[in-house]
């Protein structure tokens, strides 16, 4: 008995529509999986139809709708039969698509790489555990904290309390101080073994270095400095970040490679609620490169917090920031006075930093620090988008500017239109009066 062979659905071949190509730069050529497109001197494609497999990729990428699929009369007849439902026609699956789907399905789970120094975890890692937990929940997979270091087993418990379900621990002397080579080797080993679909790291000096190195070795995409993360209906990570100098927010996808990697700056994501006593699974791994194979040696660790400017703007709860409106370096002492009264620190816009009025470590914004204080007071700062992306998530924003049209007023909680040299001293006076009244009240209470 012979089995009836079902006819295959015709795929056609690509054809250029006369006069429609805008010579966009050969997008069609670079999309073709079988290299059957050559570019003519005019910038238009020349399609070798004998090689075309009818995958439609060129048609999909063409911005000018200049390509279409061509079918012979016989193929058209077969297609018509398919559309009318007459005769079973087999739709041939795209082998590339099938391979991609299979590869994507092989990667599951969300990872956050914990950044630690001498056993203390960077705050940004806990913030990412909070975000990672939300992503893992949407994907229906566990959230793993990846912990590399020496004598760091105790961090697994902390990771669970912050929201991780699993801790993958690599504890060895070679991981004592961060070095690109052993950390990259370790991460690539873990990725090959466990195949996570999402990996998050802090956009710190270490995170940026490690994420870039790992993404290069495992040949996947990496989106740096994300300000928002989400999951689409195909399990892809939607990675949102400012683009084109901060003028637009771009959502970037890595839909054909795994794992999907993203870094996020400190204070961009909120801290998760601590759940003391929460437990999880600990996976102890033993992979460790030999020390003699690691080219870079750490001779001494010098703490740069011992330098002159010990202020950590990114961690401050109250920030009084100054911009070009401050006019000169000396006037920043006025902001320092207000910051001291409020128990805060002084920050700055890039204009003030570029003018040499204050150090770059105080700069808030796209090329400075991302901050999320309880109170952010912007004095003489216009509110350019590059500044706003660094501070717009502050709980309360107070803007002082003499220009009522200044864009900072669009994002502030309270806006004061006026000369900062009058408003700031008035604020200092008011805070001092308030404190004095509070102190008097305390004295009266204890005397009573």
Tell me which residues touch ligand SF4 (CB under 6 A).
14, 21-24, 26-28, 31-32, 34, 36-37, 44-45, 47, 52-58, 61-64, 66-67
Residue 365 binds which of ligand FAD, ligand SF4, none (CB < 5-8 A, kind-dependent): ligand FAD
Segment 348-367, which members bind ligand FAD (CB under 6 A)? 349-352, 363-367
Q: Name which of ligand FAD, ligand SF4, none residue 66 binds, using a CB cut-off of 5 to 8 Å depending on partner kind.
A: ligand SF4
Alpha helices in 140-286 (DSSP H): 155-162, 180-194, 205-218
Q: How far is the CB of 52 from ligand FAD (least distance, A)?
A: 44
Footprint (CB under 6 A) of ligand FAD, residues 244-283 = 245
Which tokens belong to 428?
Answer: 């200092």
Of ligand FAD, ligand SF4, none, which one does residue 439 interact with (CB within 5 to 8 Å by kind)?
A: none
The whole-angstrom separation of Cα 254 and Cα 317 is 35
Report residue 13: phi and psi, to 5°.
-130, 155
Closer of 60 and 193 to ligand SF4 (Cβ): 60
Residue 243 Cβ, how far from ligand SF4 at the closest point, in Å?
Answer: 23
Q: Which of 58, 381, 398, 399 binds ligand FAD (CB under 6 A)?
A: 381
- Least Å distance, CB 380 to ligand SF4, is 48
The pairs formed by 245-249 with CB atoms below 8 angstroms and a separation of 24 or more are 245/366, 245/385, 245/386, 246/366, 246/385, 246/386, 246/389, 247/385
Phi, psi of 373 (to 5 degrees): -75, 175
Number of residues counted as binding ligand FAD (CB under 6 A): 29
Residue from 204, 254, 224, 290 nearest 100 by CA = 254
Binding residue for ligand FAD, selected from 56, 195, 208, 402, defined by CB under 6 A? 402
Query: For residues 175 and 387, what is the distance between their CA atoms, to the nearest angstrom?
Result: 37
Q: Is 132 in the site for ligand FAD (CB under 6 A)?
A: no
Stretch that binds ligand FAD, among 138-146, 190-198, 277-285, 385-393 (CB under 6 A): 385-393
String of DSSP letters for 353-406: HHTTSS-GGGBBSTTSB----SEEEEES----HHHHHHHTT-SEEEEEES-TT-
Q: What DSSP letter does each residue of 345-360 carry, written as one string?
A: EEEE-HHHHHTTSS-G
Residue 62 in contact with ligand FAD, rule: CB under 6 A: no
Size of the chain in residues = 448
Give the torsion sign (CA, 191, 197, 202, 204).
positive
**Interhelix angle 123-139/155-162, nearest 10 degrees:** 60
CB 387 → ligand FAD: shortest distance, Å? 3
Which of ligand FAD, ligand SF4, none has residue 76 at its interface (CB below 5 to 8 Å by kind)? none
Q: Kindly state the smallest distance separating residue 272's Cβ from ligand FAD, in Å.
A: 27
- Binding residues for ligand FAD, rule: CB under 6 A, are 245, 323-325, 349-352, 363-368, 380-382, 384, 386-387, 390, 400-403, 406, 419-421
């Amino acid at each position: 008995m012979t089995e009836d062979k079902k006819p295959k659905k015709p795929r056609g071949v690509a054809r250029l529509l006369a006069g429609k190509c805008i010579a966009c730069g050969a997008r069609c050529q670079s999309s073709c999986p079988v290299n059957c497109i050559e570019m003519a001197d005019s910038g238009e494609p020349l399609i070798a139809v004998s090689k075309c497999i009818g995958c439609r990729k060129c048609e999909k990428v063409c911005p000018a709708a200049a390509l279409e699929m061509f079918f012979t009369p016989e193929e058209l007849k077969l297609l018509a039969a398919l559309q009318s439902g007459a005769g079973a026609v087999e739709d041939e699956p795209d082998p590339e698509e099938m391979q991609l789907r299979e590869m994507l399905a092989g990667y599951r789970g969300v990872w956050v790489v914990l950044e630690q120094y001498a056993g203390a975890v960077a705050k940004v890692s806990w913030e990412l555990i909070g975000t990672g937990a939300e992503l893992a929940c949407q994907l229906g997979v566990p959230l793993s904290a990846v912990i590399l270091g020496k004598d760091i087993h105790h961090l697994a418990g902390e990771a669970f309390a912050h929201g991780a379900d699993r801790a993958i621990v690599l504890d060895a002397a070679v991981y004592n101080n961060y070095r690109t080579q052993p950390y990259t080797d370790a991460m690539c080993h873990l990725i090959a073994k466990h195949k996570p679909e999402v990996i998050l790291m802090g956009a710190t000096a270490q995170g940026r270095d490690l994420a870039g190195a790992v993404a290069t070795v495992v040949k996947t995409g990496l989106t740096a400095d994300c300000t928002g993360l989400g999951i689409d209906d195909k399990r892809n990570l939607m990675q949102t970040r400012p683009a084109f100098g901060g003028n637009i927010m771009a959502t970037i996808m890595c839909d054909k490679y795994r794992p999907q990697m993203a870094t996020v700056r400190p204070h961009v994501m909120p801290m998760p609620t601590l759940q003391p006593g929460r437990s999880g699974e600990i996976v102890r791994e033993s992979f460790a490169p030999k020390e003699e194979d690691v080219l870079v040696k750490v001779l001494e660790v010098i703490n740069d917090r011992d330098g002159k400017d010990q202020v950590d703007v990114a961690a401050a709860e109250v920030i009084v920031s100054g911009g070009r409106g401050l006019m000169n370096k000396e006037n920043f002492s006025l902001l320092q006075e207000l910051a001291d009264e409020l128990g805060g620190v002084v920050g700055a816009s890039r204009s003030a930093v570029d003018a040499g009025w204050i150090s770059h470590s105080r700069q808030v914004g796209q090329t400075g620090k991302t901050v999320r204080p309880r109170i952010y007071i912007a004095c003489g700062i216009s509110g350019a988008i590059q500044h706003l992306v660094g501070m717009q998530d502050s709980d309360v924003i107070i803007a002082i500017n003499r220009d009522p049209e200044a864009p900072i007023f669009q994002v502030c909680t309270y806006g004061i239109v006026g000369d900062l040299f009058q408003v700031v001293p008035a604020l200092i006076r008011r805070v001092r009066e308030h404190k004095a009244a509070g102190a008097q009240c305390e004295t009266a209470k204890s005397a009573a």
